[in-house]
Structure 1
């Protein structure tokens, strides 16, 4: 099974955002040693619990600190940027780190009015996503009708992936791009979107056939309960954000579990724990078997958010062993 990593540079309680970014670079080195295929970083603005805000800059630091693993973004939120600038940034990355850079794109725009004002974008900026995507691809291919060139990017083979949100699966099919999809609205909706993507896919210079990367939160430990505890800090931060409008730094699981919660926060906390995979290596292996069988996924992009970096690394180590043991049954053709 081809496994990759998405790291959002979460901030832990008592740890600075600056150290969290340095931790991301170190973590990339560790998962490279474990044999993971890609390491992607994300874009979030003005979030106290997430330090990753400049994905192309962070990707450069990760690529410089590693030697084999592919490095990319999950993703650059294209409506927040000018397509020419994005093409030039990835062109620089691809020139400095040949055959290792992935262009992962999303269509979300700044989450609040204040962030959108700071970015110089309106709430409807995402409505031009298809137009922006076409412009970006033209720059990468050296075919911009304006005669403007993203010089650093031309002539490079930069794989472009599209993160599915809303109509994202249809856009990926229309442009012939690999699809990155998560069960944001449940597995049934996700499977329908994957089926629609495959049915509507148009071959392109980027991909000759559909390619599905399944993004999933996974926690593996030596016991089912211990694996579940790894997910507790992020679940609480997610529940907190739904009532306070702000995703906070991650607290230790024992601190969260000792908290007295009223009915509503408790329900939101329990809801935030759903949709993840957790358990022992055997339990997770069985769940992944079923997931790949139902979705036909070509690759799994794994996020494990734990408060303790050692616990997180152990989870990825155990998961890599699961993949090695079961790869004949779950392997799929890969892109780059």
Structure 2
């Protein structure tokens, strides 16, 4: 089993100031030193990962808020490609509706070149945060169409020397991409999709993408999503594939230490996600394509209630404990879902660098060897089980 690390680079400590300024309240200006310090620390930590034995480094894309400060994942991965020599690199995710699709294809092709034989794994998503769509100037109501057309165009650009495309939003005539990808089929085979609502899973599946699970609910609820994913792939003649699975992880020397730090920092991550996506807000009710989010928001009394519920869910479902406990939890997830890779975020919320690095190094010494020994099962044939 492969195992990588995801860089979130959060600015959690700035949420109260940010939300006050957003409401027009009296708030101090951003302290740029906070961003510089967090970015510097996380890059320094990232450059130690391949020597610790990890197989890959991943990152995400977000804008505007303190949720994460990675605005261009492929740009960050290009830096890491030059600063490392062994690890593969991946996005978790690039948000397709926020970009010109040919530019995404160009960036992917260039990333493949600078990796010099290593693999880029590009995950796609369609975004769900009102602020990000608004600041970037895109209509959130168009996200589903922009996502589908964007992925189709990216695949055409990577696989065909010249192509034309006439969609509802995008129109291209006799377009070519340079440099041509070194291995187009491998790039296509490695394209992934992460979804937030169950109805979105088949969308990425029909586009030929692989499942990338970023858990926001109990693990057992993902079997239905993955069954729909497999069904949608089968409808377009594609076989079942292994998912990639992400989670928050904390490993401590003792169960008491692990519980203390997990109980502090994992809920901070959940709180940050709640505030970024505004999953308690009624704006989803009037936004096309986000009906699932609207139904969730209708059940939530307040931001605080949602944040607390998400924190409890993350603590119950993500991976933390002693090395032996983490091995057991990861083995259970592997047996249930047959992933071919785990991608773990090891620093989140207000977790200090030394706490995150101690956990990352302990995981590398006492958990990673066991993960590497875990067999990768055959893709689960959900269709056989569901008919």
The TM tier, using the shorter chain, reads 0.7 to 0.9
Give the greater-gyration-radius structure (CA): 2
Q: Which residue of 1 aligns with 2:367?
A: 322
Q: Which residue of 1 aligns with 2:357?
A: 313
C-alpha deviation, 1:137, in angstroms: 0.7
Query: Which residue, 215, 220, 227 being the options, matches 2:251?
Result: 220
CA distance in 1, matches of 2:327, 2:241: 25
Q: Which residue of 2 aligns with 1:211?
A: 242
Q: Say if 2:310 is the partner of 1:291.
A: no
Query: Which residue, 183, 188, 192 being the options, matches 1:156?
Result: 183
1:48-86 Cα deviation digits (max 9, x unpaired): 252211212111111111111112211110011110111
Compared CA separation, residues 154 and 245, structure 1 to 2 (3 A): closer
Q: Say if 2:143 is the partner of 1:116.
A: no
Q: Which residue of 2 aligns with 1:47?
A: 65
Q: Which residue of 2 aligns with 1:144?
A: 163
Query: Would the aligned equivalents of 2:211 and 2:244 in 1 still touch at CA under 8 Å?
Result: yes
CA distance in 2, matches of 1:56, 1:122: 23
Q: Which residue of 1 aligns with 2:112?
A: 94
Between 183-192 and 234-243, report the one with greater CA deviation: 234-243
Q: Say if 2:225 is the partner of 1:183.
A: no
CA distance in 2, matches of 1:243, 1:170: 27
Aligned residue pairs, count: 316
TM-score normalised by L of structure 2:
0.72
CA distance in 2, matches of 1:162, 1:242: 21
C-alpha deviation, 1:280, in angstroms: 0.4
Structure with more helix by fraction? 2
CA distance in 2, matches of 1:302, 1:237: 13
Query: Would the aligned equivalents of 1:176 and 1:210 in 2 still touch at CA under 8 Å?
Result: no
Secondary structure of the equivalent of 2:174?
coil
Query: Which residue, 52, 55, 63 being the options, matches 2:81?
Result: 63
Q: Which residue of 2 aligns with 1:126?
A: 143
Query: Would the aligned equivalents of 1:92 and 1:152 in 2 still touch at CA under 8 Å?
Result: yes
Q: Which residue of 2 aligns with 1:252?
A: none
Between 21-30 and 55-64, report the one with greater CA deviation: 21-30
Structure 2: 5+ residue stretches without partners: 14-30, 165-172, 279-303, 380-387
Compared CA separation, residues 153 and 235, structure 1 to 2 (3 A): farther
Q: Which residue of 1 aligns with 2:318?
A: 276
Q: CA RMSD in A?
A: 3.1
Q: Which residue of 2 aligns with 1:3?
A: 3
Structure 1: 5+ residue stretches without partners: 247-262
Compared CA separation, residues 20 and 55, structure 1 to 2 (3 A): same
C-alpha deviation, 1:132, in angstroms: 1.4
Secondary structure of the equivalent of 1:22?
helix
Q: Which residue of 2 aligns with 1:254?
A: none
C-alpha deviation, 1:103, in angstroms: 4.4
Between 86-95 and 101-110, report the one with greater CA deviation: 101-110
Between 4-13 and 55-64, report the one with greater CA deviation: 4-13
Query: Would the aligned equivalents of 2:251 and 2:320 in 1 still touch at CA under 8 Å?
Result: yes
